[in-house]
């Protein structure tokens, strides 16, 4: 019970921090947003972002749960971080990286939903929004290569 309450508070706090980070991105403060993004990985998951970004999508959940001893709560936090990281990648014009991060975010949200064995309209909306973002990014990349 206490652990779940702690996790919920951590997720709420992270949500507030990400909102601030997204505000910096909108203002064009990309370097400050990048520095803050890197700190968030370390502060919340006690690892450098490189560990998570390097994991292949198909091994993401297994690797984190089995090899790194992360919990489902950690995966929820990572899903939020990957979503923000994708927004930062878009601002940095790294569109292919944004697509990969978005796909990893969907994997995490779907895994969490399956493990919780509950249906969430909020989760489904998040996944639908991310899928739309992926489609938009793919269309933009396609236009650039013409």
pLDDT digits (tens, 9 = 90+) for 74-109: 999 999 999 999 999 999 999 999 999 999 999 999
Give me the residue label for tokens 């910096």. 24
At residue 4, the pLDDT reads: 65
Coil, helix or strand at residue 133: helix
Closest CA to 82 of 69, 99, 66, 68: 99
pLDDT grade for 17, boundaries at 50, 70 and 90: very high
pLDDT in tens, 30-83: 999 999 999 999 999 999 999 999 999 998 999 899 888 888 889 999 999 999
Closest CA to 80 of 59, 51, 50, 101: 101
pTM, to two decimals: 0.89
């Amino acid at each position: 019970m206490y652990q779940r309450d702690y996790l919920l508070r951590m997720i709420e706090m992270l949500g507030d921090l990400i909102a601030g980070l997204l505000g910096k991105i909108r203002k064009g403060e990309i370097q400050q947003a990048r520095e803050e993004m890197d700190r968030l990985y370390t502060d919340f998951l006690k690892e450098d972002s490189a560990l998570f970004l390097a994991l292949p999508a198909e091994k993401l959940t297994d690797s984190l749960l089995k090899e790194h001893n992360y919990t489902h709560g950690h995966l929820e936090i990572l899903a939020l971080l990957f979503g923000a990281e994708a927004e930062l990648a878009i601002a940095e014009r790294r569109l292919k990286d944004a697509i990969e991060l978005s796909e990893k975010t969907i994997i995490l949200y779907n895994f969490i939903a399956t493990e919780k064995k509950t249906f969430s309209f909020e989760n489904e909306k998040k996944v639908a929004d991310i899928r739309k973002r992926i489609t938009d990014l793919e269309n933009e990349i396609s236009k650039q290569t013409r």
